Chains A and B, each alone.
Chain A
């Protein structure tokens, strides 16, 4: 199960956060800082899975933007890894060349995005 979905840039600013379980607002900030810290500390040569507390972080980096998904231990890491990419592909198609700024706006400003996402369900998986 996915616990949260984060988009954070290299400066540590949260661009998008979505929690699927309630987390106190001040704990969120703390968590996000720690998460991005542990992602930033990793190099390209390291794998994209981080064991963090009692769950796993799966992240992917797109330019200066990190997409981090927190899952519990029953999730298939590889599938989530692919899921992130599919998500970005959908974003890219929707915004035609997505950038960080699109992300910081889209969730409020694009009413049709969920529907778009629904229509273009990512079915391809590596």
Chain B
């Protein structure tokens, strides 16, 4: 029995696995910490053993404990040990632990480099996978540098499982080791077209993340992503791509135009809310990036707003939230469209969910206008009353203030109303935002001169109302408003009705319970008030009353002198002495008012918040130098306080050199205007009526205060804000009536004339004139203030390092460091053998690797150069057919996953041609796009020559600039196949390189009738040389179904693959398209015969060629030669080349003056070289080709093209 117990405990000691641990923790609910520390002790024992299985078990338990919040960094070395275990199950535990607890500061990480490298190259995909997963969590700059190359190799692993992980981890590697981005990028790009959807999605994710930070580097990928977007059905991928486009469009508005249509289609068709949301977001981003003058897009905005409305109306709270969130983005640029849904937003204020209410509040902020401000704020005030929980109420309060004060009180037409609102807000219990209200009161009272009288009357009432003071305790933030009230009453005491009463209110004993800084303001403003009273009484000759006021002060001030707050005490005792002195003078019947009020003479002007910062330091002024050598006596002390009371205006004036002449002044005025225009805090002179006074020139345009008498100054009773709403309505009504009367008169006059307007009356924002001619005193800015240059870039942003030009060709120094074995002589210790050399430049890649790299680099170069130029072209075309044909056997979808390098240019071609088809093919559907047609140029030669230029430097004269001046005529490679009353067929043929002897015919079918066309089937009569690729299992006589149906007026594109035996001759195939036309009267079987013409040109594939390779090819002498000459050509040489490039699939190798060499390749590998020369009015073309028949046929076809020029 005892033995059994001992054995049991030993068992537990060594065999407690994770499950036991978890169970144990659950069983020790009371003393969990103790139990765990006991377990950790056990684990420490286990880790001391040599048995790797025991260690792994220990580490496994530690991982669990780490997750519960226990520090396990002490076991880091053991984790490394377990990571290096040969057995996968242990290794996995090690990597998991590492991924949970290693970070950049973990010092044992540097021990892992070789282990990880070994695992990455392990034959077992799971070893590799677990290493990648782990590494992603703890990759350091060192690890990233040392392993970047290994991971990059894994991106081409045979297993998608590994490829996917490798692609994803590259993102982390880029972040830690930005130098790796450029070398790895071509391969990453390749992965966008990986056959495995997982890998593809991973690559999209990585590029999306990269591009969001530095979008401009990824613009050239836009065509590729566009293709993915229109072809992918994976919503996860779509969301990322669409997000990516959202980041790209601000840089390239043309991209936005191109995106609008597919995005709106997606919005219409998708049922996935997340995708819909993303589309709406990106459409918004697009519309923001487009200039505002795009009338066509109001439809898109409407669509977005409509969809968002549906989201907001949904019962699902999540959708509601997102809808409001997206709506606020639209609001920024298209406030009008959102304002229409004010009802909905206000409704959301009643929502049970606070986050939804907050979102709705955000929206309201942007929705207010002069017209609806009062109404909205009234609603909000109601919510303030209803609101439960101070947090939300505080939020409401700040929002009300934000809404009202936004853009310099732009929407407030009646400031009395606003002051009343502020006063009402002071009655909120327990708000933290008293200082906000106070700041608003001060701001409005100072800046809106017209309102001062009213503000003062309200403030004195506030000071008078004891309920506020009574309930104000230290923790109650609302007492802050008393600070503002006291200051306003003091500063503008001339407006006070009953100054005596206010003075008394301010000297009540209860005031001493207020916080110190408020008491200080009280004391200071009591004197201001006192000065005003003295002045008033002395003028009235009522010296008795004046002395009474003095007496009151002498009696009450001592309570402040006793204050514990130093500031209050100091001010009070100072003032008390002053008042006592005044009392003495008064006793002698001397007039004192003049002198006392002189203490507070001058008016305070608001100064722009950044004014001080913007005062430029005049030349030659050294602020650190002594103006006068410091004297030992205290003379300078008198100087200092004086400076404080200097009028703000004088400060910059002092710095101005006195001899500034007229010209200089004018220049400065100009500069200042500029500055003001850029300064968001400056109230700009706008055409809105209330600010027109600013237009009046001169210094003495001191704003004239006109208070509309229709608004009484005092509204009896509280709350008052509601009454203002009513009054305001009446006033506006009055205004409207007046306007109508005027308009009527005008109309009458017009009626007598010939024209007549019948405009409906609508009250717009501009119609509402403010109740008062309120002038917001402009904030002062120093003259010749400097423009603000805020550098908001964070130098610590890790993504800044990734701002790398990806299109630049790779330099030799940019290779990824590759691990290299040292020579046997130098490596003394075998352990060090694998340690990578730190300096990357000293490394030489292995031969094989190097070759591979060069290939890679060459390719990257080509693509980079090609893509960059392509983008311009791609963007200038209209979007391709929205719905790509679903893949069917025999019918090849346009999107293929290219495996071979070669295919790239062809892919571009295809994508480009898809774009090309539009303007001619779909006149009915895309009529509005017609204006874009002039842009439908094909600057291919430009592309090619630029490509070359980037390859060889700018050695030869390339016509880059010339192109812009000389637009190319619109070109389309699609030509008419057949047409009847039902349908119009146009087609284009493209060779495909990946399978020789195959060409793809892209056929655009356009329904020209009002019937619905369905069950379309295409069949051709195969010849010996050319046959249609049919679905497996069908006979040569069967047709190939067209994978779509055509509603009236719609066109779509289908692709058919043909196999060609010999390509040296042009081919013709007879065929039929049969279909069922269905309309109201019934359906009929119809057919349309056509003759498909395969010119030799269609077997050519645009292939770029280096000039040296071209020269070699010509030297080889394997080519037969032939030539043609065409006369009467007026077209410019450049356009001519463009035509040949476009219609005959050539690329320019080199061009000098009016002579160019061109190259192309057939799908069966024939080289075709051309030399095109332009004479006065003729063009001669010399050709060389492996096959003379092919060449002569090609030249004949070319002759036909050139003859039209």
Contacts and interface: CB of A to CB of B under 8 A. Distances in A.
A126 B272 contact: yes
Given A49-B355, A123-B236, A126-B274, A74 B212 contact: yes
Contacts of B356: 46-47
Interface in A19-49: 20, 22, 25-26, 28-29, 32, 43, 45-49
B96 A79 contact: no
Interface residues of B, number: 54
Contacts of B64: 108
A125 B353 CA distance: 25
Contacts of A47: 317-318, 320-321, 353, 355-356
B996 to A, nearest CB: 35
A14 interface: yes
B1156 interface: no
A111 B137 CA distance: 18
A64 interface: no
B1090 interface: no
A14 B103 CA distance: 21
Nearest to A119: B161
Contact of B273 (A25, A78, A114): A78
A15 to B, nearest CB: 8
Contact of A109 (B18, B275, B317): B18
Interface stretch (B67-75, B330-338, B582-590, B926-934): B67-75
Given A47-B321, A79-B274, A1 B209 contact: yes
B92 A111 contact: yes
Contacts of B92: 111
Contacts of B278: 76, 79
Of the listed residues A25, A82, A126, the one surrounded by the most CB atoms of chain B closer than 10 A to its CB is: A25
Interface in B332-364: 352-356
Interface in B270-285: 271-275, 277-278
Contact of A125 (B67, B93, B274, B322): B274
Contact of B355 (A22, A50, A74, A107): A50
B318 A76 contact: no
Given A47-B317, A109-B18, A126 B66 contact: no
A76 B251 CA distance: 22
A125 B300 CA distance: 25
Contacts of B63: 108
B67 A14 contact: yes
A108 B58 CA distance: 12
A49 B63 CA distance: 30
Nearest to A109: B18
A126 B236 contact: no
A76 B274 contact: yes
B212 A22 contact: no
B133 A114 contact: yes
B713 interface: no
A79 B137 contact: no
B902 to A, nearest CB: 31
Given A29-B69, A77-B322, A46 B352 contact: yes
A108 B18 contact: yes
Given A14-B69, A125-B236, A118 B161 contact: yes
A45 B353 contact: yes
A81 interface: yes
B67 A16 contact: yes
Given A104-B22, A105-B22, A46 B66 contact: no
A14 B68 contact: yes
Contacts of B320: 47
Interface in B292-322: 317-322
A10 interface: no
Contact of A114 (B104, B129, B318): B129
A94 B274 CA distance: 26
B318 A49 contact: yes
B352 A45 contact: yes
A51 interface: yes
Given A79-B236, A108-B63, A108-B93, A43 B322 contact: no
Interface string A101-126: 00011011101001100100101011
A61 interface: no
Interface string B43-78: 000000000000000001001101111110100000
A33 B60 CA distance: 24
A125 B73 CA distance: 39
A49 B355 CA distance: 8
B277 A46 contact: no
Contacts of A46: 317, 352-356
A99 B828 CA distance: 56
Given A1-B209, A76-B243, A111 B88 contact: yes
Nearest to A125: B235
B89 interface: yes
A111 B94 CA distance: 13
A51 B209 contact: no
B96 A108 contact: yes
A41 to B, nearest CB: 10
Interface string B93-125: 100100001011000000000000000000000
B1116 interface: no
Contact of A105 (B19, B197, B272): B19
Nearest to A32: B69
Contacts of A111: 88-89, 92, 126
Contacts of A49: 318, 321-322, 355
B235 A22 contact: no
B161 A115 contact: yes
Nearest to B274: A78
Interface string B227-254: 0000000111001000100000000000
A26 B73 CA distance: 12
Contacts of B137: 20
A126 B272 CA distance: 4
A76 B22 contact: no
B198 interface: yes
A118 B164 CA distance: 10
A121 B318 CA distance: 24
A106 to B, nearest CB: 11
Nearest to A1: B209
Nearest to B130: A114
A43 B93 contact: no
Contacts of B126: 111, 115
Contact of B66 (A25, A45, A50, A121): A25
Nearest to B235: A125
Given A47-B317, A82-B274, A114-B129, 20 more contacts: A14-B69, A25-B66, A25-B69, A25-B71, A25-B73, A25-B101, A28-B69, A43-B352, A45-B317, A46-B353, A46-B356, A47-B318, A47-B321, A47-B353, A51-B355, A76-B243, A76-B277, A109-B18, A123-B235, A126-B271
Closest CB pairs A-B (n = 7): A78-B274, A47-B317, A22-B103, A46-B353, A79-B274, A29-B69, A47-B321
5 contacts: A16-B67, A46-B355, A79-B274, A108-B96, A123-B235
